[in-house]
Amino acid sequence: MSDSTDTTPTTPTASDRVYFRQLLAGRDFAKNDPIARQMVNFVYAIGDRETGEAVLVDPAYAPNELVDVLEADEMTLTGALVTHYHPDHCGGDMMGHGIAGVRELLERADVPVHIQADEEEWLRIVTEVPESQLRTHTSGDVVMVGEVAVRLIHTPGHTPGSQCFLVDGKLIAGDTLFLEGCGRTDLPGGDPAALYESLTRRLANISDDTVLFPGHMYSAEPSAPMGETRKHNYVFAPRNATEWMGMFGR
């Protein structure tokens, strides 16, 4: 009897090469930090398995632990991406509580920090990271992690320089969009009209089968296809900008 096992070599897909991890603050790292457990931030690791290079998205609370995660996976930190300047995403003082973030990360590894250009001043003030460590971008820029491309999308509204990251069929949205709801606009720099534009126009070309990965665990599930999010998330219910602004009492 012949052996029916298929031994035909297969060609690796892009997804095979992409290293991707979703890490929840207070559970996967910073387990003893009560603020991390309360804020339930997600940190993301994106990398190229072949070159061993990786970046961290919004590395707050316990940056050394996050680098340890990479190293345990035989990956090397080569940069950080920041969705926006709020301390629970990049470190700094939050209502009198100090949160470790990109400043402490740079003490471990001398790597660039990629931000949207409109966020530069805000991030420097909050984190005290020197300008020389920052790499500013505009919408549509691509950051290469090895041979893995991460496309940056400027999505103002929650903050002036909020940005999302598109990589390998995944949208890392920070606080621009959650599975249920969206980021607040009543904090400094928030703009509900700009957020409506970001959700309905700037993210309009994101396909329904792209998987949304939010900045916080504010829903039962940690991720969902954009098609499902557009169908069930109330922020997509308004039919026009007037109805949207009515949600904010404008």
Which of residues 237 and 7 earns the better pLDDT score?
237
Q: How far is CA 215 from CA 57, 70, 165, 212, 230, in A?
A: 10, 19, 11, 10, 17
48 lies in which domain range? 14-246
Q: Is residue 104 part of a domain?
A: yes
Is 80's pLDDT higher than 90? yes
Is 8's pLDDT higher than 60? no
Q: Is residue 193 part of a domain?
A: yes
Q: Is residue 192 part of a domain?
A: yes
Q: Is residue 9 part of a domain?
A: no
Question: 169-222: per-residue pLDDT in tens?
Answer: 999 999 999 999 999 999 999 999 999 999 999 999 999 999 999 999 999 999
In terms of Cα–Cα distance, which of 30, 40, 89 is closest to 220? 40
CATH of the domain at 98: 3.60.15.10
Q: Is residue 229 part of a domain?
A: yes
Instruction: Report pLDDT for 95.
Output: 83
Instruction: Report pLDDT for 97.
Output: 87
Q: Give the Cα-Cα-Cα angle 208, 90, 87 (nearest 5 degrees).
A: 105
Question: 99-145: per-residue pLDDT in tens?
Answer: 999 999 999 999 999 999 999 999 999 999 999 999 999 999 999 99
Q: Is residue 3 part of a domain?
A: no
Is 4's pLDDT higher than 50? no
Instruction: Report pLDDT for 14.
Output: 61
Q: How far is CA 225 from CA 143, 153, 189, 229, 232, in A?
A: 23, 18, 29, 6, 11
Instruction: Report pLDDT for 248.
Output: 73
Is 161's pLDDT higher than 80? yes
Q: What are phi and psi of 59, to 5 degrees?
A: -80, 85
pLDDT averaged over every residue in the chain: 93
Q: What is the tally of structural domains in the chain? A: 1
Residues written for the chain: 250
Q: Is residue 6 part of a domain?
A: no
